[in-house]
Amino acid sequence: MSKTVDIDWGKLGFSYMKVGLRYISKWSNGSWDEGKLVEDNTLAISEASTALHYGQQCFEGMKAYRTKEGKIQLFRPDRNAARLNDSCRRVLMPEIPEEKFIDACIQLVKANAEYVPPYGSGATLYLRPFVIGVGDNLGVRPAPEFIFSIFAVPVGPYFKGGMVPVNFITSDFDRAAPYGTGAAKVGGNYAGSLMPHKVAVDKGFADCIYLDPATHTKIEEVGAANFFGITKDNKFVTPKSPSILPSITKYSLLHVAKEYLGLEVEERDVLVDNLDEFKEAGACGTAAVITPIGGIEHKGKFHVFHSETEVGPVTKKLYETLCGIQFGDVEAPEGWIVEVK
């Protein structure tokens, strides 16, 4: 881990960069091979791969963090393994044993340790695990072969000059169907989100808010992040729905709210016509941890929560505590941290 790379950590955004090695494992004839680290960042796959035509694929997003002592740690990789396997089952791809998944993450991070940004920069090493259906195939059916791979990219802190609230607008489009693939991290969900995202950005908003597909009355997701609100009587509330992607950050914040901040927590419907019940609101996910929500426009009416410019105190405390756990400054609940050594 003594090698160094010439990167201006403070300038990093969220962009692809080729780093030294990536992990790749192949599935054929009923089993995964052992997997290996390779230099080549391109994949040669059959033109008839199901991943290309029928969207038979899924992915994950997670990070490796550098602590004050210079150690490297992963945050809840078992949760990413479980969610990847939920997604694999949903699109009929073979699961990755949890041990194989975590071992692959550790191998990859160790091999690219010089790309794990220094403590204090706010930057992290982002890991992108994915599974794709490959091999010669024409009809709509599961692929004959699969690839499980993970690559890593150093990424900057989401908010360079500190956390700032941003505004969102509800979308007339749906992200997922009531019994569709919303709870799985499959690429098709994201292809479908590109246009609603652009519509929101063109109107001057950071992203769109998806409402429940059946009634369009309840908040489901905030772009590619989950929603939470803090009620006027200090409850942490987050929507419950089978078509939301279960955010690992969200469930971690729910635990932090309850066990570290002593708040009551609720997973339940969040009516878009009842935003007045919240004094603060945020979007949460691996990329930003928390994006404070300044306001939400719905049917021409703009609702402001705490402030369009200032972050609310509960949101700030949630953010600081969870980041503290991820970077090793705050004691983590048992099993949340896996050291890379």
Ligand X SMILES: Cc1ncc(COP(=O)(O)O)c(C=O)c1O
Phi/psi at 312 (nearest 5 deg)?
-70, 155
Determine contact, residues 36/24, Cβ cutoff 8 Å: yes
Burial of 105 (0-12, 13-18, 19+ CB in 10 A): buried
* Interface with ligand X (CB under 6 A): 61, 221, 224-226, 245, 247-250, 285-286
**Which position among 63, 71, 185, 235 bears the catalytic label?**
185
185 is known as an active-site residue: yes
C-alpha closest to that of 73 among 274, 285, 297, 338: 338
Least separation in angstroms between residue 151's CB and ligand X is: 16
* The residue to which tokens 């808010």 are assigned: 209
Tokens, residue 22? 């990536």
CA atoms of 104 and 238, how far apart (whole Å): 32
Residue (61 or 180) nearer to ligand X, CB: 61
Tokens, residue 207? 């992203």
Phi/psi at 329 (nearest 5 deg)?
-90, -20
Least separation in angstroms between residue 183's CB and ligand X is: 10
Which stretch of DSSP H or E encloses residue 203? none
State the virtual CA torsion across 316, 16, 201, 179 in degrees, nearest 10. Answer: -80
Least separation in angstroms between residue 250's CB and ligand X is: 6
For residue 242, the Cα-to-chain-centroid distance in whole angstroms is: 17
DSSP labels, 102-118 = HHHHHHHHHHTGGGSPP
CA atoms of 39 and 2, how far apart (whole Å): 20
Sequence letter at residue 303: H
DSSP state of 323: H
Least separation in angstroms between residue 284's CB and ligand X is: 6
124 Rama sector, left if φ>0, alpha if ψ -120 to 50, beta otherwise: beta
Q: Which residue numbers are catalytic?
A: 185
